[in-house]
Amino acid sequence: MVSHLFFYQLVLLGLLWLCVMLHYVWPNECARGDQRPSKPLPPRKRSSDPKPFPGLTRKPPCVACEQAHAHRPQPPGCPPPRIVPMRGRPRQVETSCHFCPHANCDYRGWLGLGNITSNGHPSGGPWRQLHCTSCGGYFQETHGTPLHGTRVVPEKLVWAVGALAEGLGIHAVARVFEIDPNTVLAWLVEVADHAVAFSQYFLHDVRVTQVQLDELFALLSAVKAGEVSDAEAIQRLSRSPHWVWAAIDPITKLLLTIDVGDRTLAMAQRVVHQVVQVLAPGCVPLFLTDGFKEYTTALLTHYGQWVQPARWRAQGPMPKPRWVPLPGLLYAQVVKTVRRRRLVDVKHRIVFGTLDAVQQVLAVHGWQINTAFIERVNLTIRQHVAAVGRRVSTLCKHEAGLRQQLALYQVYYNFCLPHAGLRQALPQPEPTHGTGSARQGRPQTPAMAAGLTDHVWTLREVLLFRVPPWPQPVGV
């Protein structure tokens, strides 16, 4: 012990001597009197420019990417030739939105090839019977939709689903329409599957310049309804809290994706993956999120590339390649500090790209860095999705139930609900039939603004839409 102490004292003395000597010997830099090399340097002033991202040595994995390649619907080949009817009177009923569902038919799944004729309403039923002239098969116009094979009056189902989409809980819908809650749940399950296919069919190759992402905390109804004790609820929530994740394009207000899951990297990966699926290839928009740190990795996964850094010296080992963000990727965070439920501070952080580039994208619309649009949508989701909102008596106790309501809501929001902020001004005001003032604008839905459809869909239209099994060629 003593020898150690002595040794350290010797070293200290030696260092002191060295300092004093250097002070005299050093020509310029050390000549100033305040220089004390033993003290740590004062922290450097941070420049306002963000440091360039150094890159990762491994590409972050995305589970959804690895699974996705398998189940993306692809057409089996080229469409068969068009059938032009040679005899009989011209066809009266429009059948171009129908396709043959029969597995052994060459025309299966193809739209507008002239192989479908209409047969009228068998035994006075509400639905038409359609006929495929290629395979000779018959099918109903509701084939493959939630209205197929139900004995209930179609209007009742459409209205009940409309009530669900407007945010009424399952029990409430059951009471209003005098049906069993389990029937409503069965309808919801059926409609949700249809809604997912519908969204997948229409939402692709969307071009956007901005995307806002957010997570909204969703207390599931079982907890709220008092079916579990508070202690159990807290335990259950801390183990697997449920968050509703949403991504919108703030310009067209299109809800690109909506999902439910934990607040984890895996979930952030999944949401960004779903956004990438909807966007056109090569489309790299500006991303705006809150301060949740896992978005950075999730975005980097889908918008990154390998680069080979240059050598430090002419000789020496080649440095490892780095996974870096694409040159065009812009990503900014809005970091809010909330103390006692009050917003005390908002900070903007540029993660990828430069502040100038981000502001340039926003300036087109006269905006600042913000996540206001997605926060507004979050509020709407609370109002329209019973399991997320304040109402408690829904059957959606499980994550899957919530996902079904969200799938329905996504279609309803994108295709059926005209958005007040998207109203198209008419060149000339149109007179209305009644005594009201002239119409100034045309209602527009987010899907119309994004160029995915040309009209406001009714829920009945959505439910009756037969989703083709694969994307159809443009212009058919």
Q: Which of residues 123-142 bind Zn ion (CB under 5 A)?
A: 132, 134-135
Say how many residues touch Zn ion, by CB under 5 A: 7
Specify whether the CB–CB gap between 265 and 259 falls below 8 A.
Answer: no
Q: How far apart are CA 331 and CA 303, in angstroms?
A: 11
Give least dist CB 173 to Zn ion, A.
Answer: 37
- Rounded distance between C-alpha atoms, residue 273 and residue 268, angstroms: 8
Amino acid at 301: T
If the CB atoms of residues 107 and 457 are measured against Zn ion, the closer one turns out to be 107
Closest separation between CB of residue 107 and Zn ion, Å?
5
Q: Please, which residue, 103 or 231, has the CB nearer to Zn ion?
A: 103
Q: Which regions of 66-209 does DSSP assign to beta strands (E)?
A: 116-118, 129-132, 138-140
Whose tokens are 């098969």? That residue is: 137
Residues 99-128 touching Zn ion, rule: CB under 5 A, are 100, 102, 105, 107
Residues facing 352 on adjacent strands: 331
- C-alpha closest to that of 192 among 243, 259, 128, 141: 259
CB 105 within 8 A of CB 134: yes
What does the radius of gyration of the chain's CA atoms come to, in whole angstroms?
31
> At its nearest, how many Å lie between Zn ion and the CB of residue 147?
21
100/276 with CB nearer Zn ion: 100
Distance CA 338, CA 198 (A): 39
Q: How far is the CB of 202 from Zn ion (least distance, A)?
A: 24
Strand order of the β-sheet with 116-118 is 116-118, 129-132, 138-140
- Identify which of residues 134 and 142 has a Cβ nearer to Zn ion in the complex: 134
Task: Please list, residue by residue across 234-256, b when 16 or more beta carbons sit within 10 angstroms of its beta carbon and e when fewer do.
Answer: eeeeeeeebbbbbbbbbbbbbbb
Q: What would the x/- binding string for Zn ion be over residues 373 to 412, using CB under 5 A?
A: ----------------------------------------
Nearest approach, Cβ of residue 229 and Zn ion (Å):
58
Instruction: State which residue, 135 or 233, has the beta carbon closest to Zn ion.
Output: 135
User: How many angstroms from the chain centroid is the CA of residue 385?
Assistant: 16
Closest distance of CB 139 from Zn ion, Å: 9
Q: Which is nearer to Zn ion, 109 or 325 (CB)?
A: 109
Smallest separation (angstroms) from Zn ion to the CB of 356: 58
Counting contacts by CB under 5 A, is residue 220 touching Zn ion?
no
| Binding residues vs Zn ion (CB under 5 A) | 100, 102, 105, 107, 132, 134-135
